[in-house]
Amino acid sequence: MADRQRSAVLISGRGSNLQALIAASARPDASATIALVISNRADAAGLDHARQAGIATQVISHRTFATQTAFEDVINAALQEHRIGLVCLAGFMRVLSPWFVERWRDRLLNIHPSLLPAFRGLDTHRRVLAAGVRFTGCTVHLVRAEVDDGPIIAQAVVPVRHDDTEDSLAARVLAAEHRCYPIALELLASGRAWVIDDQVSTAGTEAPELMALNPVI
């Protein structure tokens, strides 16, 4: 079996997408392995999920650094120490600097709870309901300096119900995220997705697992 792409996940909270990525990486045919989990919060529940799976963890609190550059230098050093090839942001509640984003260009993934480029930013589900759209979803993309911007790797569609609340819609979108993020990481780690002219291409690639991205009813 070919060497798996060593991947890290950056979190700040409960780590539900982290759990999905860990479960997917446990498959014998997976192309990525989660080798490191970093949190900027020592009380992040996701750290326990990683430890239970035998994954190395590290807490790097932004509050202990005088500058963002110093904070990101330590994160970057940890990633290099663990020989990380791909980095997944999963509820990491810090905006990364252009320096860090460029340092990990085309190797830094993020997931957002909308069908980008629609509804970038915060309070996504509230704004979706206020707009009266019929469909929303989630997007896994490569990170660029602008928030919620970058080449799209995978998306999943979630219909908006007439009786949806922010909480009910968020729960169904989160379920789609748990399926979408592992697929996107697998496509990138396996070399079945790549960047051309700042767009992700999977031309000529058979990815039957993408059938899992049917709308979440």
Residues labelled catalytic:
112
The dihedral through the CA atoms of 22, 28, 31, 34 has a sign that is positive
β 56-59/32-39 pair status: parallel
Where b means 16+ CB within 10 Å and e means fewer, 5-30 reads bbbbbbbbbebbbbbbbbebbeeeeb
Strands (E), 42-126: 56-59, 86-89, 108-112
For 101, the 3-state DSSP assignment is helix
Paired with 200 in beta bridges are 195
Report residue 112 as tokens: 């957002």
For the chain, state the CA radius of gyration: 17
Paired with 182 in beta bridges are none
For 210, the 3-state DSSP assignment is helix
